[in-house]
Amino acid sequence: MTLLSTRGLSKSFEGLRAVEGVYFDLPPGQVRALIGPNGAGKTTLVGMICGRITPTSGTVQFDGRDITSMAAHRRINLGIAYTFQITSVFSGLAAGENVALAARRRLKGADVRPAVENALNRMGLLKLIDQEAGDLSYGHQRLLEIAMGLVQKPRLLILDEPTQGLADSEIADFKTLIRELAGETTILLIEHNMSVVMETADQVTVLNFGEVLAEGTPDEIRANRDVQAAYLGTG
């Protein structure tokens, strides 16, 4: 039983192979980290999963359905939520309205507000609900981005480098959050911070030059010689 699987998924940009024949399976309820050096194709792979990028070949299946050629917004409505690597909250709108926009796909009318407050509260941003998102600190914008993901109650939550630019205390809170969410939803986490990966992920997939280099538990990955050579830098 898998929630998400890709079969031979590839993408070339004018001859440059960003992702090459990736077979990837994600069972429901798992927290999976996707790691790899810069340019390994992590964001491209995830982009193909959520529909921002059209694959050159291969298929994507979500919950038993082939979604390879489905438009991005329809995939989101199937229960995939994606938070952006580069913070892209709506800076001219209030923090609450940012989250409300995400919530209104699922909820209507009076149900929106409590869900928004709940999501913001979970990220510790409730007191900033009426602040314009552009006025928030960078760290708070990152957290707001995650709140926008949470409020969608997704079946698959894709977080693209969520801890980038967060302070240490915020990273600690983030780890707690992921562990809490682990029972509720499936999480695909692109992450550079190894302590976050090691402490939160059930399984880790390592990409290198667009291909899957290794897959396993955090401990197995840490012990894997190929991974050490390619990525962890202790070859």
Partner 1 sequence: MSNRTKVIALHGGLLALLFALQFFLPAYHHGNLARIMVLASYAVGYNFLFGYTGLLSLGHALFFAAGMYGMGLTIQHLEWTPAPALLAGLVAGVVVSAALGMLALRTVGVAFMIVTLMFAQAGYLTILYFGEYTRGDEGFVIQQAQRVLWGIDLSDATNRYFAALVLFSVSMLVCLWLVRQPFGKTLVAIRENDERVKMLGYDTFAHKLGAVVVSGAIAAMAGAFYGLLFGYVGATFASVQYSIFPLLWVLLGGAGTVLGPFVGTLFMFYLIDLSSGITTAYMLIAGVVLVLLTLFAPQGLVGELRRRLWRWMP
Residue 136 or 206 having the CB closest to partner 1 = 136
Cβ neighbours of residue 4 closer than 8 Å, sequence gap 6 or more:
24, 25, 26, 49, 60, 61, 62, 63, 156, 186, 188
Give the CA angle between residues 217, 219, 225 to the nearest 5°.
Answer: 105
Per CB under 8 A, the segment of 60-68, 76-84, 173-181, 202-210 that binds partner 1 is 76-84
Give the x-and-dash track for 86-115 against partner 1 (CB under 8 A): --xxxxxx---x--xxx-xx----------
Rounded Cα distance, 59 and 82, in Å = 19
Nearest distance, CB of residue 101 and partner 1, angstroms: 5
Candidate ranges 8-16, 55-63, 65-73, 175-183; the one touching partner 1 (CB under 8 A): 65-73
Structure tokens, 76: 């989101």
Taking CB under 8 A as the criterion, the residue among 62, 84, 174, 231 binding partner 1 is: 84
Among 72, 126, 171, 232, binds partner 1 (CB under 8 A): 72
Ordered strands of the 80-83 beta sheet = 80-83, 156-160, 186-190, 31-35, 203-208, 211-216
Element at 139 (helix H, strand E): helix 138-150
Q: Tell me, by CB under 8 A, how many residues bind partner 1.
A: 24
What is the 3-state composition of the chain as percent helix, strand, coil, each rounded to the nearest 5?
40, 25, 35
Name which position in 71, 167, 223, 229 contacts partner 1 (CB under 8 A).
71
Is residue 79 helix, strand or coil? coil
Question: Which of 70, 76, 172, 182 forms a contact with partner 1 (CB under 8 A)?
Answer: 76
CB of 102 to partner 1, least distance (A): 5
- Residues in the site for partner 1, rule: CB under 8 A? 50, 52, 71-74, 76-77, 82, 84, 88-93, 97, 100-102, 104-105, 148, 152
